Amino acid sequence: MGNYRFIISGGGTGGHIYPAISIADELKRRYPNAEFLFVGAKDRMEMEKVPQAGYKIEGLWITGIQRKLTLKNMMFPFKLISSLIKASKIVTKFKPHAVVGTGGFASGPLLKVASGRGIPCVLQEQNSFAGITNKLLKDKVAKICVAYDGMERFFPSDKIVKTGNPVRSDLISINEDKNEALRFFGLETGRKTLLVLGGSLGSKRINALIAENLEFFKSLGLQVLWQCGKGYIETYKPLNSDTVKVHAFFNDMAKTYAAADFIISRSGAGAVSELCLVGKPTIFIPSPVVAEDHQTKNAQALVAEDAAIMIKESNLDEDFKTRFQSVFESRELQENLAKNIKALALPNATKDICDEIEKLLN
């Protein structure tokens, strides 16, 4: 039977949305006649990104709980009740054969309703430290697909399957020619290249760090390929030169990674999974303002395997130059970092997650 109906719920950030779309794409490849419905949070980026990927989406009136007493927090019980009622109507009308949650607050009400009706549910947890919604749902779902070891501290061990995180299909086997990639960006083929990634929106602190250190990079003979984010492009565009290329974002990530010798990046779950596939010496600068400090914990999981360097934002002023130079000057350290991060790659994540969903259909 190929006429399955799937609901996929998750959102709030790209880290929850892009895995959800990857899973839908793979299920669609397997079951071309299947129907899909996404459920997200009203007013969040999924309401735009999911239709762009060709899928229908319904929005729930739900937000997270703030850490301090705010009007939003006082509204939370009303939003939760409203979302549970709407989720119930969605499940009744759509009659899914399986439901997948990729994290974010919207997946909570939906998976609670679906699991309560005996519909098989799968969770996908991207981070090394489980999100609050997924922790609340752990006893209700059939399977939990994770990307890191040691997730038994959050979830029942008999439900855990280590699959990794879905990544963009064009990165599964990066076979771009390095010199061609450098020429594509207008960079010299004989020079070492530093790639800077501040997350999809850009990072104010990382941008300031790179701007402050352009002379330092130049003294090392490095050229810089820099994604600053669309909110910062007007500020940093004037720094473009023969050896510094500033972009709001990169459309072709395979070429972007191929051009790099060293990488500085945030440590969101999606970025970490991609960089494991890329296998190049990486310095993570975690964002300190994400829920439950996920990014620091993701980076620490790689540091524990000698697979990356981590520098906290609060330590950048005193530590950045010395730590960067220690990587830049040691061929042995570069090779170890590259080898160890590559060993953590799980390129078949999307396929393995869909295999778990498929088992529940049968």
Residue 268 neighbours by CB distance under 10 Å? 25
Q: Are 64 and 83 in contact (CB under 8 A)?
A: no
| Domain identity same for 184 and 150 | no
For residue 85, the model assigns a pLDDT of 82
**What is the DSSP-derived secondary structure letter of residue 64?**
P
For residue 219 the two structure tokens come to 């003294």
* 253 and 147 part of one domain: no
Looking at the fold, whether 67 and 160 belong to one and the same domain comes out as yes
Name the strands in the sheet holding 244-247, side by side, starting at the edge strand that comes first in the sequence: 244-247, 223-227, 193-197, 262-265, 282-284, 309-310
Alpha carbon dihedral 133, 138, 142, 148, in 10-degree steps, equals: 80
183 known ligand binder: no
Q: Is 267 annotated as a binding residue?
A: no
Q: At what angle do helices 331-342 and 269-278 cross, to 10 degrees?
A: 110
CA dihedral (119, 138, 36, 117) in degrees, to 10, reads 20
Are residues 128 and 70 part of one domain? yes
- Cα angle: 21, vertex 25, 29; to 5 degrees: 170
- Which segment of 117-121, 223-227, 286-290 scores lowest on mean pLDDT? 286-290
- Residue 194 is predicted with a pLDDT of 98
Q: What is the CATH number of the domain that holds 357?
A: 3.40.50.2000
pLDDT for 210 beyond 70: yes
Work out the percent of the chain whose per-residue pLDDT is above 90. Answer: 69
Instruction: Note down the domain range covering 235.
Output: 170-342
168 is in an annotated binding site: yes
pLDDT of res. 188: 95
Report the domain count for the chain.
2
| 104 and 178 together in one domain | no
Burial of 141 (0-12, 13-18, 19+ CB in 10 A): buried
What does the pLDDT read at residue 96? 97
Establish how many alpha carbons lie within 13 A of residue 185's alpha carbon, considering only the half-sphere containing its beta carbon.
35
What pLDDT digit, counting tens, does each position of 164-201 carry?
999 877 776 667 789 999 999 999 999 999 999 987 67
Q: Could you tell me if 76 and 215 lie in one domain?
A: no
Q: What is the pLDDT of residue 326?
A: 97
101 and 240 both lie in a single domain: no
Tell whether 200 is in a known binding site.
yes
Is the domain of 162 the same as that of 233? no
- How much is the pLDDT for 78? 72
Query: Tens of pLDDT along 64-121?
Result: 555 555 666 677 667 777 777 888 899 999 999 999 999 877 888 899 999 999 999 9
Least confident of 39-43, 208-212, 302-306: 39-43
Residue 182's pLDDT is: 96
Residue 14's pLDDT is 67
Flag whether 66 is marked binding.
no
Residues 159 and 186 in one domain: no
Per DSSP (E only), the strands in the chain are 5-9, 35-41, 57-60, 98-101, 121-125, 143-146, 160-162, 193-197, 223-227, 244-247, 262-265, 282-284, 309-310
Bigger pLDDT: 1 vs 277: 277
Angle between helices 316-329 and 204-212 (to 10 degrees): 60
Q: Is 15 annotated as a binding residue?
A: yes
Question: Both 145 and 208 in a single domain?
Answer: no
**Residues 331, 190 share a domain:** yes
Residue 127 in marked binding region: yes
> Do 42 and 63 sit in the same domain of this protein?
yes
Most confident of the following: 2-16, 62-76, 100-114, 201-215: 201-215
